[in-house]
Each structure stands twice: as structure tokens, then as C-alpha cells.
Structure 1
Amino acid sequence: MGDKMKTVGETLISILEAYGVDVVFGIPGVHTVELYRGLAASRIQHITPRHEQGAGFMADGYARVSGKPGVCLVITGPGLTNTITAMAQAYQDSVPMLVISGVNARATLGHGRGQLHELPNQQAMMATLALMSHTLLDPNDLPSVMDRAFAILGSSRPGPVHIEIPTDVMAEPISHRATSVTRPGRPRAETEKMMEVAEQCRAARKPVILCGGGAVSAAPEIRVLAARLDAPVVTTTNARGIMANHSLSVPASPSLKSVRSLIADADLVIALGTQMGQTDYDMFADKGFPALGNLVRVDIDPEQLARGPFPARSLHSTSENFVTDLLALLDEARSINGATARAEKARTDARTELGERVEREVALLELIRETLPGTIIVGDSTQAVYAGNLYYEADRPNGWFNAATGYGALGYGPPAAIGAAIAEPDTPVICLVGDGGFQFALSEIGSAKDCGANVIFLVWNNDGYGEIEKYMIECGIQPEGVKPSAPDFAMIAAAYGIPGKHLASIEDLPAALKEAAGKSGPFVIEMHERLVHPDAGQS
């Protein structure tokens, strides 16, 4: 069969389809219209956010829940720079994201002649942030460039990848055969190293497993490994839910003293797919995480293995490959380590350590989970989310994630929740967002309306930036700039044709959640923090 001539834009869509892409997020403009030429006839759904930052955050939420890369189409210049914040969050949290942007025509690049949306060197700017940034100068390079992009997204530590296509290249014809998708291999530790780790496991009497976001896809295997080693499993924010309802689960932050005590007392610590970064392991910046002389660290990223804390043994492997290979070397389950009691003590001590105020907020999260089993809670940076990052057990993998880790971008929650809802349309998705953070992305409820996303926007209203106000007071600083006014969020929802309500009592929350989950499309529920904390100050 002879080659079929298509434009670069049409071929791009065909390649995305071949790689299993079923949704893209973007706002079309004159610098991307040729990329849309083949989109309407494809199987790919297009979601239009209200802002390109929303496109990036939607792609992030979609990727976390679906396991596929989130894909964005954005214009050159402001469209791309608007997406940078979302790409930075994806970089910090290792979320696979493919951003395809326009750029001005090849003959204009680098001349600084005032072209529309021109940047001095767009590709160089993106190269500082993306795992790969490529300018497509030759149309016939498109298939190989896309193969390279998906190879990076699928075989190494995930993150944002950027491809820019000049406007004059988009419409050029390209001779393109049907895409032959290749799936690159993923790293696996050497057999000799695995045998040494297995020997350590046999000798250990108080092992502990630490799991980060990179371990989520290995959740079933990790549950088996924990039982076989009789080891408590401490999960960071992005790993919550992989040990749901398991007696060995410790769904509490390694920033808590009680959890650190469990880890320090271990004679073997296996860290799977975790950056071991400050926002998970030293949230209070007290530098109290214990030094570990018995740390076995497993990561897909060899550079991460070379960063602290330095392990006694490091293995370059995916979590799935490591756990699968280790299980093949170990005997059947044993219960000689008293791990159930150790895990229970860590959980009990961690809850006590939270204090009454945070405990109330954790109880709120648990009320949501009990009301809507299997829900996905996508958080913004707000008080109840900080509490959950300290202690909360989702009842499923990817049932709890937010922007209050790593990069920490406000306005993440609403669009990321929309992306999550698109990935799992039949699952209730809760966006837990503050009144301040919601206003970073308030218009995205219109996007949720357009695409029928089943998102319940639960607004935690504390009359401004309550957490920052509290911190300023603790630092002896007169609070300033922390009281932005907020609209009536239920009325804003009504203006978009979205149902919404105010809670008069915390006892009303379960009924409101069930009502919202019973409807198709988005729903807004506004609650004031005084419902949870009656002693909260008036404003």
C-alpha cells in the first residue's frame, strides 16, 4: 500500500491515537489551528479549559488517575507560559505530561522582529523545565520525535515533555505510514543485587517499607510483599490508598515524630518510588528525620538515587519490577516481626500527635470517604488538605492527591479534579479547595459544566488565606494581604447553571454529598471552617 500524504497536524493526531491518547486539553488559537485539522474526525476527546494553566492541571489529574500521559495543545508565547506552572507541578510530582505548542514560523525564529506571541527563545526556556523540549523543524522528523517523547514518558521517571511545532510546519505535507508503537523497556535491578536484598529481608526482624507516588502502580504486589516480610508500610501523600484497609498500613506523614520513631527503630528500611523530599519527610522543617544506615532505596531515576538521603544500597528499577523480582526470591508469608502491633501503635500515636484541631479535619475527610466509598479527593493547598497529608487513608490507590506537596501551586485542585473525573467518569470526585485557592481557577467550573465532569467542588471557606494568616501570627508578623474577599460560590455556580448549596451544619454534609453524587455534572458545596472549628475567629 502506498504512503498517504497528510499534513503534520493530521499526522500528529494519528500518532497520538496510535499511542492510546483519548483526550487532549487545550484552547485553540491561530498558532495551533492546523494541529486541530484532524481532531474532529479522530477518537480523541477535546476538553477546553478557561485558561492554559487549567489545561495543564487537568492533564495532571487525568494522568494520575488514568495512568496515561496527560496531553495539552497550547499556542506559542502566552499559551505556553500559562502552562508552565502546571508543568512545574508535574515535574515535582513525577506526573507524565505531553505539552505540544505552536511556535512562530521557522524564518522568524531568533530575529526578534515583534512577531505575535514571540519569545526570545521559547525552546531554550522550556528546556530548563521539561524532560525533553524539541523544535520540529523538519516535518518528516515528526514520527521519530513523537516516539522519543513517548519513550521518555513511558520508560523513565515521568514528568513534562514539550514539543513545539512552527506554524509553517504544521500545514506541510508528510509522507507517513501507519505508526508502529514501540514500548521501551523499564529498568530492572541486577539479579545479584536482588539476591543481596532478599538476604537482608530474611535477616530483618523489624523491617519497614516506605512508599511514594512512584510505587502506586505496584500496589497489589506491595501488599503481598508487606505480608511476606511482616513489615509496616508508611505511605507518603501521593501513595495513600495502596494499603487501604490493611493492618500493616501506616497512612501518616514521615514528618510526624511517631512515624519517624517507627522508621528509626527498623533494622531494614526499603524505600520504593519516593523522592524523600521535604514536603513529605520534613514538613515542619525541623530536620528531625532519622539518619538511616540500613536504607535500601529503589527508584526509576538513577539521579534521584544519587541524592540524599544516601542509602546503604540503591537499586535502579521500577517499583513493580523490584517487588515482583523480590517476591520471587522470598519464602511464603511470615508473622515473626510483630508488624501488625507496630503498625497499629504508629497509627494510634500519629493520631494523638495531630492535636485536636487537625484531628477534626481528618475526621471530616473520613466522613467524606465513608459517605462516598471509592471517591477520589483532589486537593488544593488548604487547611483540611494539609491535615490529610499528615494523616489520611484513602480507600483506593490514587484516591488522594493534591498540590500541597512538591511545587505547591494554588489553583491546582479544580482543574485537576476535572481531569480525574474525565479519566474515571463513573467515580465520584471531590475537589477540596479553599475560598482563596478556588479563586485562582474559579472559571474552570464552566469547563466542568461544558464537559459534564462529575466533580463535587467542596469549598473550605476560612475567609481568606487562613493558613498563611496563622503562620504570620506565629512568626510575630502583623497579618497583611491575607483577607481577599470571596463571592458567594453557590451563586457563582448558579450563574453557570450548576447546582450549589451552603452547609448550615457539618451534619448536613453527608446528605449534600449524596445529593451531589446523584446528579450528573458538577456541583458546588460551600462550608465555613466554623462548622468544623466552632472556635474559629469571626471576620
Structure 2
Amino acid sequence: MTTCGEFLVKQLEAWGVDSVFGIPGVHTVELYRGLPHSGIRHITPRHEQGAGFMADGYARVSGKPGVCFIITGPGMTNILTAMAQAYADSIPMLVISSVNQRDRLGLGKGYLHELPNQRALTAGVTAFSHTLMSVEELPGVLARAFAVFEGERPRPVHIELPLDIITAPAEHMQLAPRPSIQRPSPNRALIREAAALLKNAKRPLLLLGGGCVSAQAEVRALAVALDAPTALTINAKGLLPPGHPLLLGSNQSLIPVRELALQADVVLAIGTELGETDYDVVFDGNFQLGGALIRIDIDAQQLQRNFTPALAIQGDARLAMRMLMAELNPGELRDNSPGAMRTAAVQAQLAEDFSGWAHYRQLFDTLLEVLPDARFVGDSTQTVYSGNHLVELDGARRWFNASTGYGTLGYGLPAAIGAKLAEPDRPVISLIGDGGIQFTLPELASAVEAGVGIIVLLWNNSGYGEIKRYMQKRDITPLGVDIYTPDLLAIARGFGCLAERARDHEHLAQLLRDAPPDRPLLIEIKEAPPFHP
């Protein structure tokens, strides 16, 4: 007999799913019956939150949904934080869970792992949540999930299977073809109206977000055609290469870029929420736009949030940029164009602002000198905060972290594991602090077990240093931030990792060159430069 659980695995494999993250439990073992006979790789995290973060990192790199198998009850409550991070950053994630059998739902009789309503828990962090009430529903519900992932703003989807449905016979079911989803095309008349505004602009500004990561070629052509200084959100880093004459970086919270935004007569914002964690990390509410705002976004509601546009265009970012380019004259990249000169003036001011950050710049110079193709997956830590401003990479999907959007701790390690699994040949560096790594430290064991050779760059300031500074600035006596920090090198070695403390930049470079391909290397760096032995 083919069960519903086995059929589910076959259907996922038929639609291109190659990896599943999960911890088997008594309520999900029937989902695992078909996995050994499939081509789907199973990764076992040490906590369901780790499963979600791994799926998130995998999805950001591959562009495919990260898939998790999660048990009823505690498994679902454990993964909610990871789902919330993915929801905030528009990441496709398919969370498939068990739930008590249909005749026991919502009765409150104390069955194993029972919750009053699992779907209610996930309501705020999913595009939708569905309880499968018959085997026959499965292909249609999966098709809805993939429609979210590929045809609209991608976000997590939760599908729960009652225990009596997982084991129900499914021999009569035929594999459904993968749905062909067309992303929405913008209204051509509105595109022409936007093009007319942009053609007449004297001081255009281009603001690009994570919704543009699949449109790198279009971004580079559009920026040059508009001769527009271009600011990228954290999730859009790499869309313009380092040294591009129109690149402002991700510095929208700093005064020189804010002044440029006020001076702009037309602002084109594509695939960006225009949200606080990219445009106002100093939390003073002073990022303002001086000119007419044109917004392009796949999410109609997002078009009206944060900043009200003069012209709102719903549609896919890549299609919109292609249509815009058809209305504009191709440009020529020049260092002395008006847009490039405006950008250069801002960059000169930013260089002064960053003059005290030489130790961070030297750190990243060392990392990129040894591993120029590295991908950086970060937590909320000082190396991430500085790198958000300082680091520019050639190519999208190479820099992402949890300091934006939802802003959870513990993300950097498991998400780096997922990123490495998605593209094994590219070096992956996890940027994480001693506080954040203790949220998900056991995932080092998962990486060793899976043979994942990531580099964990551990910034150790013996506590929650950023929060401590935040408290001190507000005349609050620091409490709860000077935490006991264990010997993380010894713990990492106990998990089977290599672990060393970098003495200086030359030693760091040598450690990077000698990093093993099949297990993590944890490199500890003490906060105060130069590094301390």
C-alpha cells in the first residue's frame, strides 16, 4: 500500500524538491517511510528552529522553497521564530507538519502534542495554513503553496496532515504535473507613465530591495540607463558590483545618502518595503524622500506602506524593469556622468564617516582576499552591522543576515548550513557573535553529520555587546548583557569541528586557507583589535 505520506514525498520530488530539513518524531515517522526510496536528501537539525533557519538559508541561495518536516505541537512552536524571519524577508518555505487525527482535533483531552489550534499559531507567519482533511486534497494544496512561492510575494506556507491522513491509502492518486506559474506583469500604461517621469528627471534616485535579486542584469542596465545613484537594501547587496560608479551601498540611514534622497526629484523604488531596518537603522525617523516616488512591487498592499507613492505599479520586478528599459534609451556607464558625480560626492562623505572603521575593513579585506567568492550569512552581531555598510560583493544572494526585518538571534549558523547545502562549491562564512551562537550552537553537530564545510567567524565580546552599548547610551544600568561565556572553542571541538582563535590577520588568512571541506571551522576573534591570543 502507498500511503499519503509516501505519496507526498513522491509529489515533492516530482516538483524538484531535493532537500528536507526535519527531526523525526512519533507523529511524523510515516512521512519518513518514503524518503529512503527517493532522491530527496534529509538533514537532521538539533532543534526545529534550526530546521527553519536551514530551510531559509537554502531557499535564499537556491531560489527554491526550503522544505521542513515538523512534528505536532512542540515542533511547530519551535519553528515559529524561523518562519517569522522568513515571513519578514519574503522567503519561500514549506512547513509540513503532523497534527492529531481528525476525530481528536480541538477536543482538549490531553492527547500527545495536542494544541488547541496549530493553524492559529501559524496564521501571522504564513501566506496560508491548511489542514488536509482528505488525501485527494494534497495535490491542490501543494499547487497553492507553489503558486505563493513562484507567482506572488513568497512567504512560508504551512500544511498539516492529521495522523489518520498520513497513513491513509493513496494508491489511487496520480502524481500531478508541477503548476506553471506566471508572475504578474505590470500595467503597460503605468510603466510608460513612469518612464516619462524618469526621462524628465534631473536628479533621479534608484532604491532597490530583495525583490530584485533575480533581476541582476536588468538592474545593472536600468541604473545606467537612468544614470541614477543606486542604494541597495541588505538583501539586495551585489546587484551592482563593487566600485560601480552609481553604487551608494546600503547606507540609507547615514546623512549623506539621506541628503541625496531629499534632493532627488524622482525616486524609483523597486522590490523594497522602504522599511526601518534598511532605511532607518538609527531609529530617528529621518529618512525622507523629496521628489515624486514611483513604487514597483509584486505586493499591492506593500505599495502603500511606509511611503505613499505618486505612482504605484504592481508587478514582477524583472518584468517591470524590462518593460521600463523598452521605453528608455540605453545608457553608457561613465565615471563622469551627472549621476556618477553625485554618487562620488556621497561616497567621499561616507569615507569620512567610516574613517574609524579601519579594523572592520581590514577584517573583510582579509576574508575576501583569501575567499573572493565567499557567501556571507550573518546573525545580529558587530561584524554584520559593520559589513552591512562596508562590504560590497559582485552578485546577489551572497550577503544576507538576520539584522534586518524580524531580527532574530541564532540565525547565522543554521542558515549558513542551508546556504552551503544549496551551493556546495561556494565558500560560506557565518558571521555570528558569542551571544547569538549560543541560541543554536548544537547545529554544529548537524553540520558535522552532514559533512558541511562552513567557516564560522565568531565575534567574541563576552556578552550582548551591542545591547550593552544601547543601554549605556540611555543611562540604563547594564543588566543581563554581561553573560557567562563558555569555552566555545572547546565546545566546537567536542562537536567534531576544527576550532582556533585567530591571533592576527595573517593567522586568520592561514586558517581560512586550511579550512576543511567536510566539517565546520570555527574561528574565534576577540572584539578589540588587534586580535588577542
Work out whether the TM-score is over 0.5: yes
Shift of 1:360: 2.8
> Is the Cα contact below 8 Å between 2:275 and 2:306 reproduced in 1?
no
Equivalent in the alignment of 2:34: 38
Equivalent in the alignment of 1:537: none
2:99 aligned with 1:99:
no
Aligned residue for 1:258, secondary structure, equals helix
Equivalent in the alignment of 1:210: 207
- One-letter amino acid of the structure 2 residue matched with residue 111 of structure 1: L
- One-letter amino acid of the structure 2 residue matched with residue 183 of structure 1: S
> Is the Cα contact below 8 Å between 1:31 and 1:75 reproduced in 2?
yes
Equivalent in the alignment of 1:315: 313
Quick one: distance in 2 between partners of 1:118 and 1:213? 38
Equivalent in the alignment of 2:472: 473
Aligned residue for 2:439, secondary structure, equals coil
Segments of 5+ residues of structure 2 without an aligned counterpart are: none
Equivalent in the alignment of 2:143: 147
Deviation by residue 1:354-397 (Cα, 9 ceiling, x = unmatched): 351x4532442233123211101111111111112233212321
- One-letter amino acid of the structure 2 residue matched with residue 488 of structure 1: D
In terms of mean alpha carbon deviation, does 287-296 or 81-90 score higher? 287-296
Quick one: distance in 1 between partners of 2:517 and 2:36? 29
Residues paired across the two proteins, number:
529
> Is the Cα contact below 8 Å between 1:50 and 1:444 reproduced in 2?
yes
Deviation by residue 1:21-59 (Cα, 9 ceiling, x = unmatched): 110100011111111111111111000000000000000
Aligned residue for 2:301, secondary structure, equals helix
In terms of mean alpha carbon deviation, does 138-147 or 247-256 score higher? 247-256
Quick one: distance in 1 between partners of 2:444 and 2:146? 31
Map 1:67-82 to 2 at 5 A.
67-82=63-78
> Is the Cα contact below 8 Å between 2:264 and 2:291 reproduced in 1?
no
Aligned residue for 2:285, secondary structure, equals coil
Identity of aligned residues (%): 49
In terms of mean alpha carbon deviation, does 190-199 or 328-337 score higher? 328-337
Quick one: distance in 2 between partners of 1:395 and 1:514? 21
In terms of mean alpha carbon deviation, does 475-484 or 325-334 score higher? 325-334
> Is the Cα contact below 8 Å between 2:221 and 2:330 reproduced in 1?
no
Quick one: distance in 1 between partners of 2:393 and 2:463? 28
Map 1:477-496 to 2 at 5 A.
477-496=476-495
Map 1:93-132 to 2 at 5 A.
93-132=89-128
Quick one: distance in 1 between partners of 2:88 and 2:445? 28
Equivalent in the alignment of 1:6: 2
Equivalent in the alignment of 1:248: 246
> Is the Cα contact below 8 Å between 2:273 and 2:306 reproduced in 1?
no
Map 1:356-395 to 2 at 5 A.
356=356, 358-395=357-394
Aligned residue for 2:312, secondary structure, equals strand
Shift of 1:532: 4.8
Quick one: distance in 1 between partners of 2:190 and 2:411? 40
Quick one: distance in 2 between partners of 1:382 and 1:56? 20
CA-based RMSD of the aligned residues comes to 1.6
Equivalent in the alignment of 2:460: 461
Quick one: distance in 2 between partners of 1:404 and 1:351? 23
- One-letter amino acid of the structure 2 residue matched with residue 376 of structure 1: R
Segments of 5+ residues of structure 1 without an aligned counterpart are: 535-539
Of the candidates 48, 73, 79, which is equivalent to residue 52 of structure 1?
48
Question: In the superposition, relative to structure 1, how do residues 362 and 422 fare at CA in structure 2: closer, same or farther (>3 Å)?
Answer: same
- One-letter amino acid of the structure 2 residue matched with residue 268 of structure 1: V
> Is the Cα contact below 8 Å between 1:434 and 1:459 reproduced in 2?
yes
Question: In the superposition, relative to structure 1, how do residues 433 and 532 fare at CA in structure 2: closer, same or farther (>3 Å)?
Answer: farther
Deviation by residue 1:169-212 (Cα, 9 ceiling, x = unmatched): 00101221132111222111111111111112221222121111
Aligned residue for 2:253, secondary structure, equals coil
> Is the Cα contact below 8 Å between 1:351 and 1:359 reproduced in 2?
no
> Is the Cα contact below 8 Å between 1:361 and 1:532 reproduced in 2?
no
Shift of 1:167: 0.8
Equivalent in the alignment of 2:265: 267
Quick one: distance in 2 between partners of 1:275 and 1:533? 38
Shift of 1:494: 1.6
Map 1:407-446 to 2 at 5 A.
407-446=406-445
Question: In the superposition, relative to structure 1, how do residues 125 and 519 fare at CA in structure 2: closer, same or farther (>3 Å)?
Answer: closer
Deviation by residue 1:187-242 (Cα, 9 ceiling, x = unmatched): 11111111111112221222121111111111111001111111121111111111
Quick one: distance in 2 between partners of 1:302 and 1:59? 27
> Is the Cα contact below 8 Å between 2:502 and 2:531 reproduced in 1?
no
Equivalent in the alignment of 1:338: 338
Superposition TM-score, scaled by structure 2 size: 0.96
Deviation by residue 1:447-499 (Cα, 9 ceiling, x = unmatched): 11011112101100001111111111111111111122222222222212221
Quick one: distance in 2 between partners of 1:279 and 1:494? 35
